[in-house]
Amino acid sequence: MKRIKCIDILRGFSVAAMLACDSPGNTDRFYPQMRHEPWDGINFSDYGFPFFLITMTMMIPIVMGRKLDSGEKTIPMIIKSITRSIMLVLLGLFLNAFPKFDFHTMRIPQTLVRMGIVYLVVSLTYILAKKFLKKDEYILSLFLSLGIIIILGYYFKMKPYGLIIDRNLERIVDMKYLAGHLAYSTWDPEGIMSTIPSIATGMFGVVIGGLLNFKTNNYYRALSITGLSAVGYIGAKVFNNYMPYNKMLWSSSYVLMTMSVTALIIAVLYIICDTFNKDRLFKPFIVLGSSPIFVYMISELLIRTLWKVPIYDKQFTEPLIFCKWFTFKFITPWSGTVLDSFYFSILYVIFWMCIMSKFYEKGKFIKL
């Protein structure tokens, strides 16, 4: 099966964004666009996770669709979907438990946990839809409708309880079912309620992937995805007046805006890289996205270990954790104090690109 380069590139870019935003050189001095908005609003950093989710579910109609069309049985595919979902959830829980493994207080919601839940719901829905609806046009219409129904239902469910940080349904539900196992004392950005609209994000990913997989010419595919992006953008701007962009709540307007931006990037990259084959410039992102879960896992382990090691240096009056020490020692002297944390993040991404290029050149891909 021919690789669709635009998906590989965007997957790598999403990994790069998540690495950069999760690894500032100085946690006391985030570069503004590298910091998640604390509540309402949307920054560059707020696109990384949706990009990752959408590229994951974009592959469902491309890979699963072709396998089902070629006669592969439904039950084995369902088992594979469940197995992969469980693996993602377990990896997420492992990261949350590491290194203390205190199961009485460990956080339960997590990025990979949410990915596992979204993948399970979206992939099983696709398999069943493919079995009963048959035609791709009907399947994509179903997924588009389900995505819209979810974000509308989420809005109407959340609105009566309020949408401010200390009064919202996410907080109420998290405290009822996950108290003591949250990122913060009373709520979690990957909590129970906000996982529901993230499923809509996955549904829209299937729509984008299905449009890429249509048996038509490349320009029509790109135009269709651009049209979806335009409709999503208009919907996001309208919805923002009622339920503002908010990654922490994964608000309905946030779902539409991140889908819209993702679709537009995919359409542009598809023309550049898959139609005109001008993809050499993007190879570092293809390399980085070749083993995305592996890169994310190891990076998170580094954050929990090496990043916390105190470095004793006579140049400084007190011991510094590794990332601060490296930044103050090697970056701040020439960059100043405004962009030093940002440059550390960029260097960290380049470091991972160099490592993964060695694996890529040898044809070694670590699939998790």
368 located within any domain = no
Measured from the Cβ of residue 101, the count of other Cβ atoms closer than 10 Å reads 9
Segments of the chain assigned E as strands: 163-164, 167-168, 310-311, 320-321
Q: Phi/psi of residue 153, each to 5°? A: -60, -40
11 located within any domain = yes
187 located within any domain = yes
Q: Which domain holds residue 221?
A: 5-278
- Cα angle: 190, vertex 196, 202; to 5 degrees: 95
Supply the DSSP string of 250-317, one letter for each residue.
T-HHHHHHHHHHHHHHHHHHIIIIIIS---GGGHHHHHHTTSHHHHHHHHHHHHHTGGG-EE--TTSS
Model pLDDT, residue 317: 85
340 located within any domain = no
Measured from the Cβ of residue 185, the count of other Cβ atoms closer than 10 Å reads 8
Model pLDDT, residue 303: 87
365 located within any domain = no
Whole-model pTM: value is 0.94
307 located within any domain = no
Mean pLDDT by 10 residues, the chain (368 residues): 84 93 82 83 93 95 90 92 96 93 92 97 96 90 97 96 92 94 91 97 97 90 96 96 96 98 97 92 91 92 87 88 90 87 93 91 78
326 located within any domain = no
Considering its fold, how many domains does the chain have in total?
A: 1
Model pLDDT, residue 1: 56
183 located within any domain = yes
